[in-house]
Amino acid sequence: MSRVAKKPIVIPEKTEVKVDGVHVSVKGPLGEMKRTFKPGIEFKVENGTVMVTLHRPESYMLLGTYASHLKNMIEGVNRGFTKKLVVEGIGFKSDVKNGKLEMALGFSHPVSVEIPKDLKVMADKNVITVTGVSNESVGGFASKVRSLKKPEPYKGKGIRYEGEVIRRKQGKKAA
Protein backbone atom coordinates (compact mmCIF):
# COMPACT_ATOMS: atom_id res chain seq x y z
CA MET A 1 0.00 0.00 0.00
CA SER A 2 1.10 3.54 -0.71
CA ARG A 3 2.88 5.41 2.05
CA VAL A 4 1.27 8.65 0.91
CA ALA A 5 -2.24 7.21 1.19
CA LYS A 6 -1.71 5.64 4.63
CA LYS A 7 -1.64 9.03 6.35
CA PRO A 8 -4.91 10.95 6.71
CA ILE A 9 -5.09 14.22 4.77
CA VAL A 10 -5.85 17.11 7.13
CA ILE A 11 -8.51 19.56 5.99
CA PRO A 12 -7.56 23.13 7.07
CA GLU A 13 -10.05 25.65 8.45
CA LYS A 14 -12.28 27.46 5.92
CA THR A 15 -11.96 24.48 3.57
CA GLU A 16 -14.80 22.19 2.62
CA VAL A 17 -14.39 18.76 0.97
CA LYS A 18 -17.42 17.04 -0.55
CA VAL A 19 -17.34 13.48 -1.86
CA ASP A 20 -20.12 12.18 -4.10
CA GLY A 21 -19.09 8.74 -5.29
CA VAL A 22 -16.25 9.36 -7.75
CA HIS A 23 -16.74 13.15 -7.80
CA VAL A 24 -14.70 15.17 -5.30
CA SER A 25 -15.03 18.92 -4.84
CA VAL A 26 -12.87 21.12 -2.63
CA LYS A 27 -13.89 24.66 -1.76
CA GLY A 28 -11.57 27.12 -0.03
CA PRO A 29 -10.67 30.81 0.30
CA LEU A 30 -9.01 31.03 -3.16
CA GLY A 31 -11.62 29.14 -5.15
CA GLU A 32 -13.18 25.78 -5.88
CA MET A 33 -11.85 22.68 -7.63
CA LYS A 34 -13.74 19.64 -8.86
CA ARG A 35 -12.30 16.37 -10.06
CA THR A 36 -13.71 13.03 -11.15
CA PHE A 37 -11.71 9.97 -10.14
CA LYS A 38 -11.99 6.44 -11.48
CA PRO A 39 -14.02 4.05 -9.33
CA GLY A 40 -12.06 1.64 -7.15
CA ILE A 41 -10.68 4.09 -4.61
CA GLU A 42 -12.84 5.55 -1.87
CA PHE A 43 -12.55 8.92 -0.11
CA LYS A 44 -13.94 9.16 3.42
CA VAL A 45 -14.32 12.55 5.14
CA GLU A 46 -14.40 12.33 8.95
CA ASN A 47 -13.28 14.58 11.83
CA GLY A 48 -11.54 17.19 9.67
CA THR A 49 -9.50 14.62 7.72
CA VAL A 50 -9.85 12.64 4.51
CA MET A 51 -8.83 9.00 4.29
CA VAL A 52 -8.08 7.43 0.93
CA THR A 53 -8.88 3.71 0.98
CA LEU A 54 -8.79 0.91 -1.52
CA HIS A 55 -12.21 -0.30 -2.66
CA ARG A 56 -11.09 -2.69 -5.40
CA PRO A 57 -7.76 -4.54 -5.18
CA GLU A 58 -6.92 -3.98 -8.86
CA SER A 59 -6.84 -0.19 -8.28
CA TYR A 60 -3.96 -0.25 -5.76
CA MET A 61 -1.58 1.44 -8.24
CA LEU A 62 -3.66 4.62 -8.24
CA LEU A 63 -3.95 4.92 -4.47
CA GLY A 64 -0.93 7.18 -3.86
CA THR A 65 -1.60 9.18 -7.03
CA TYR A 66 -5.16 9.98 -6.01
CA ALA A 67 -4.05 10.89 -2.48
CA SER A 68 -1.49 13.32 -3.98
CA HIS A 69 -4.13 14.81 -6.29
CA LEU A 70 -6.42 15.43 -3.32
CA LYS A 71 -3.58 17.01 -1.30
CA ASN A 72 -2.79 19.31 -4.24
CA MET A 73 -6.45 20.29 -4.55
CA ILE A 74 -6.61 21.18 -0.85
CA GLU A 75 -3.33 23.11 -0.98
CA GLY A 76 -4.41 24.90 -4.17
CA VAL A 77 -7.65 26.30 -2.77
CA ASN A 78 -5.85 27.45 0.39
CA ARG A 79 -2.44 28.75 -0.70
CA GLY A 80 -2.37 28.40 -4.48
CA PHE A 81 0.57 27.49 -6.68
CA THR A 82 3.16 29.78 -8.24
CA LYS A 83 5.81 29.30 -10.92
CA LYS A 84 8.27 32.00 -11.92
CA LEU A 85 9.95 32.12 -15.30
CA VAL A 86 13.01 34.24 -16.04
CA VAL A 87 13.41 35.67 -19.55
CA GLU A 88 17.10 36.17 -20.32
CA GLY A 89 18.60 37.73 -23.43
CA ILE A 90 19.21 41.06 -25.10
CA GLY A 91 15.95 42.40 -26.53
CA PHE A 92 13.89 39.65 -24.90
CA LYS A 93 10.83 41.03 -23.14
CA SER A 94 7.37 40.02 -22.04
CA ASP A 95 4.10 41.80 -21.33
CA VAL A 96 0.48 40.87 -20.53
CA LYS A 97 -2.12 42.50 -22.81
CA ASN A 98 -5.80 41.66 -23.36
CA GLY A 99 -5.61 38.19 -21.81
CA LYS A 100 -2.51 37.24 -23.78
CA LEU A 101 1.15 36.98 -22.89
CA GLU A 102 3.06 38.94 -25.54
CA MET A 103 6.78 38.20 -25.86
CA ALA A 104 9.71 39.27 -28.00
CA LEU A 105 12.09 36.31 -28.05
CA GLY A 106 14.55 37.15 -30.80
CA PHE A 107 12.37 35.88 -33.63
CA SER A 108 11.30 38.01 -36.60
CA HIS A 109 7.79 38.17 -35.12
CA PRO A 110 6.30 38.67 -31.65
CA VAL A 111 5.05 35.54 -29.89
CA SER A 112 1.71 35.62 -28.08
CA VAL A 113 0.20 32.94 -25.85
CA GLU A 114 -3.44 32.85 -24.72
CA ILE A 115 -3.68 32.85 -20.91
CA PRO A 116 -6.17 30.29 -19.51
CA LYS A 117 -9.06 31.79 -17.53
CA ASP A 118 -8.18 30.02 -14.27
CA LEU A 119 -4.62 31.44 -14.17
CA LYS A 120 -3.23 34.84 -13.24
CA VAL A 121 -0.08 35.88 -15.13
CA MET A 122 2.06 38.92 -14.35
CA ALA A 123 5.12 40.09 -16.28
CA ASP A 124 7.62 42.39 -14.55
CA LYS A 125 10.76 43.28 -16.51
CA ASN A 126 12.30 39.87 -17.14
CA VAL A 127 10.22 37.73 -14.72
CA ILE A 128 6.91 36.06 -15.63
CA THR A 129 4.86 34.93 -12.60
CA VAL A 130 2.14 32.31 -13.14
CA THR A 131 -0.28 31.73 -10.23
CA GLY A 132 -3.39 29.63 -9.92
CA VAL A 133 -5.37 27.14 -7.91
CA SER A 134 -4.56 24.03 -9.98
CA ASN A 135 -1.02 22.68 -9.82
CA GLU A 136 -1.48 20.97 -13.19
CA SER A 137 -2.61 24.06 -15.08
CA VAL A 138 0.09 26.29 -13.52
CA GLY A 139 2.84 23.82 -14.37
CA GLY A 140 1.42 23.09 -17.82
CA PHE A 141 1.20 26.75 -18.79
CA ALA A 142 4.69 27.48 -17.42
CA SER A 143 6.18 24.60 -19.39
CA LYS A 144 4.33 25.72 -22.53
CA VAL A 145 5.82 29.22 -22.20
CA ARG A 146 9.29 27.81 -21.47
CA SER A 147 9.13 25.58 -24.56
CA LEU A 148 8.81 28.66 -26.80
CA LYS A 149 12.48 29.53 -26.25
CA LYS A 150 14.39 27.01 -24.13
CA PRO A 151 17.63 28.26 -22.59
CA GLU A 152 20.66 27.55 -24.73
CA PRO A 153 23.89 26.26 -23.16
CA TYR A 154 26.40 28.81 -24.54
CA LYS A 155 25.09 32.19 -23.41
CA GLY A 156 22.08 31.06 -21.36
CA LYS A 157 19.57 33.02 -23.47
CA GLY A 158 15.96 31.91 -23.34
CA ILE A 159 13.21 31.26 -20.80
CA ARG A 160 14.05 29.25 -17.68
CA TYR A 161 12.40 28.49 -14.37
CA GLU A 162 13.54 30.58 -11.42
CA GLY A 163 16.25 28.63 -9.62
CA GLU A 164 16.92 26.36 -12.62
CA VAL A 165 20.62 25.95 -13.30
CA ILE A 166 21.65 25.93 -16.94
CA ARG A 167 24.75 23.90 -17.60
CA ARG A 168 27.04 26.11 -19.64
CA LYS A 169 29.33 24.96 -22.43
CA GLN A 170 32.66 26.57 -23.23
CA GLY A 171 32.16 27.23 -26.94
CA LYS A 172 34.94 27.73 -29.51
CA LYS A 173 38.46 28.30 -28.34
CA ALA A 174 40.67 30.85 -29.99
CA ALA A 175 43.80 29.21 -31.40
Taking domain 81-161, whether its CATH number is 3.40.309.10 is answered by no
- Residue 95 CA to residue 87 CA, distance in Å, equals 11
Q: Where are the domains of the chain?
A: 3-78, 81-161
* Rounded alpha-carbon distances, angstroms, from residue 87 to 70, 103, 160, 175: 33, 9, 7, 33
> Does 20 score more than 90 pLDDT?
yes
The candidate with the shortest Cα–Cα distance to 139, out of 80, 95, 88, is 80
Nearest 5 degrees, angle CA 161-CA 164-CA 170? 120
Residues shown for the chain: 175
pLDDT in tens, 94-112: 999 999 999 999 999 999 9
Strands 81-88 and 158-161: antiparallel
At residue 16 the predicted structure's pLDDT band, cuts being 50, 70 and 90, is: very high
What per-residue confidence (pLDDT) applies to 5?
85
> Does 175 score more than 80 pLDDT?
no
- CB count within 10 Å of CB 64 equals 16
- Residue 101 CA to residue 52 CA, distance in Å, equals 39
Q: Among the listed ranges 5-19, 48-62, 63-77, 133-147, which one has the minimum average pLDDT value?
A: 48-62
Average pLDDT, the chain: 92
Question: 3-78, which class in CATH?
Answer: alpha beta
What per-residue confidence (pLDDT) applies to 1?
62
pTM check: above 0.85? yes
